[in-house]
Amino acid sequence: MHSILISGAAQGIGAATAKLFYQQGYKVGIYDINLEQAEQLAQQLGEHAKAGFLDVTDYASWEAALSEFASWAGEINILVNNAGILYSGPFEETNITNHHRTLDVNIKGVLNGCHAALPYLQQASFARVINLSSASAIYGQADLASYATSKFAVRGLTEGLDIEWQKYGIRVFDVMPLFVSTAMVKDMQAESIKKMGVHLKAEDVAQDIFKLAQLKDSVVFQKVC
C-alpha cells in the first residue's frame, strides 16, 4: 500500500486530495497547522488515515511530521505540498507583513517540505512530489502580485528539482489551477476573478493530482487546469 503526505490537508484542495487517495487505497497523512480539523478528517476517513500538526514555515516541524508519518506508514511515496495562503488587493494597500507571510508559507513552506522529505523519498520504492502552483505562475495578475510571485517561485523550484532528482528516480510535478471554489478564494478581491469567475472545485484539482501521481517517468511535469 503506497502512502501520501499532504500539507494543508484539513480543508479545501488538501482535504479533497486526502479523501480521493484514501478511496484509492493509499495510506494518507493529513497534516495541517489546524490539528483539530485534521484529526476530524482522519477519523472520518478511517484507520489508514493519520493526522498530524505541521507548520510548513518551520523546518523542524517538517522534520517531526515526516518522521512521524514514515514510522506509521512504513515509507513515504508521495508528498503533496498543498499548504498555501492568499492575500488579495492593491499591492500598496496590503500590509507588508501579509506580503512577507505569503512568501513564507507559499515558497519557504514548499522548499522546506521538499528538502526535508528527500531522504524519505530516496528510500521509497516509488516516489513523487506534487507541488500546488497556480495559473498565476504563468502570468502575473493585478491585486495578486505577491501571490503570483510565490507561485512563479514554486514553478521554478519544481522544474529545477524535477531535473535534478531524476537521478534518484524521483519526479517532481506541479498543478496550476485557475481559481478554485475554496475558502481561500471566497473573499478574494481581484479584478481577474470578477472577469474569469470560479469554475473549478477542489475535487477537480484532486483528480489532477491523482493523475499526476500515476504518471510514468517520461511525461511532462506540469498540469494546467
In this structure, what C-alpha cell is assigned to residue 112?
522546506
Catalytic residue, from 31, 87, 120, 147: name it. Answer: 147
Angle, helices 59-73/109-123, rounded to nearest 10 degrees? 30
Residue for grid cell 520504492 = 125
Amino acid letter at 1? M
The CA–CA distances, whole Å, from 96 to 65, 91, 93, 99, 101 equal 30, 9, 9, 5, 9
- The answer to whether 30 touches 50, Cβ cutoff 8 Å, is yes
Burial of 124 (0-12, 13-18, 19+ CB in 10 A): buried
**59 has catalytic annotation:** no
Task: Indicate which residues carry an active-site annotation.
Answer: 147
